[in-house]
Amino acid sequence: MKVLLVAEYRQGRLAESTSELLGFADALGGDVSMALVGSPDQLPGFDGRLHFADAGIYGEYDSELHKRLLLQAVEAETPDLIVFMHSSYGWDLAPRISAALGVALLSGVAGMDGDGFTTRCCNGKMRRTVTAMTSPAVLTLLPGAFPSVQPEGVSPELHPMAASGVPVVEFIRYEPPSTGGIDLTRSDVIVCAGRGVGSREKVGLVRALADALGGEVGATRPVVDAGWLEHGRQIGSTGQSVSPGLYVACGVSGAIQHLAGMKGSGFVIALNTDRDAPIVEVADLLVVADLEEFLPLLTAKLGS
């Protein structure tokens, strides 16, 4: 199996997700190469071929020029799989590569299952196993789905890439998501409200427990989308990444996009009516209970 990983470079830095791409390749086994439009000062360490172009010339992102560069790497490597992260870079570029080659795109891969790959469906409630009917196939990997691998003491073999043509898009600026001044990354205790909380009013139960524990309130995306808590409290791949000593997940199912933001937590307590919710996979302690009944009891106990 030949795998071409597409690494990312953003705001002057090689993306940390490069280690997840290498983790995927490691889990798959086989021959690894990588393509990167980045900085010669920040090359990934791995044992393989690196098709490299300088972002100083081609920009950190230009959909058309980067596509042309990557197609060169594909031609040189003839890979079985072309693997992106499921990030804004991958969302934009992976379909362009798939369309240019006329090959399958498996989007949001969360795992491997025999010869197939697992992806989520039904708003993340179910998993399905899919197999590409073409070779090569293009994949995007969900952040946090594969372990990070950071080989040490190895350097790739450099193969320069070059492309001509005028850019068809103009890059203007990065706009980081606003956290509204809430920095959850420094909190040692986070009590997170999930959709299972049920309503804006009941978020108060979560806040009371956070206060009793001297911690902060976090939120899953549906809670933020519903306007029950501000966006700055969202934890996950499109929110903040946190690593508190104690993480209490209240009515949180444990979708992979949420886990990506809290997997660095020390001790995880999950409170859920569903004993089979995916959060169980990362929880140190599961309390199977209705949070409306359990949270006031726990908070009162802590206060006494």
Ligand X SMILES: Cc1cc2nc3c(=O)[nH]c(=O)nc-3n(C[C@H](O)[C@H](O)[C@H](O)COP(=O)(O)OP(=O)(O)OC[C@H]3O[C@@H](n4cnc5c(N)ncnc54)[C@H](O)[C@@H]3O)c2cc1C
End-to-end CA distance of the chain: 60
Whether the link from the prior residue into 136 is cis, omega within 30° of 0, is yes
Sheet with 157-160, edge to edge strand ranges: 126-130, 116-121, 105-113, 137-141, 81-85, 2-6, 31-38, 49-54, 157-160
The C-alpha atoms of residue 72 and residue 70 are separated, in whole angstroms, by 5
Nearest to 97 by CA among 79, 110, 116: 79
Binding mask 172-211 vs ligand X (x if CB under 6 A, - otherwise)? ----------------------xxx---------------
The C-alpha atoms of residue 235 and residue 156 are separated, in whole angstroms, by 35
Closer residue to ligand X (CB): 6 or 283 = 283
Closer residue to ligand X (CB): 36 or 208 = 208
Binding mask 208-247 vs ligand X (x if CB under 6 A, - otherwise)? ------------xxxx----------xxxxxx--------
Stretch that binds ligand X, among 28-36, 110-118, 153-161, 271-279 (CB under 6 A): 271-279
Closer residue to ligand X (CB): 79 or 236 = 236
For residues 275, 294, 213, 234, the Cα torsion angle rounded to the nearest 10 degrees is: 60
Q: Which of 217, 277, 283, 298 binds ligand X (CB under 6 A)?
A: 277
Which tokens in the block code for residue 128? 């399905």
Binding mask 5-44 vs ligand X (x if CB under 6 A, - otherwise)? ----------------------------------------
Residues shown for the chain:
304
Closer residue to ligand X (CB): 98 or 220 = 220
Residue 272 binds ligand X, judged by CB under 6 A: yes
Question: In the complex, which residues of this chain contact ligand X (CB under 6 A)?
Answer: 123-124, 194-196, 220-223, 234-239, 251-253, 255, 257-258, 261, 271-274, 277, 290-292
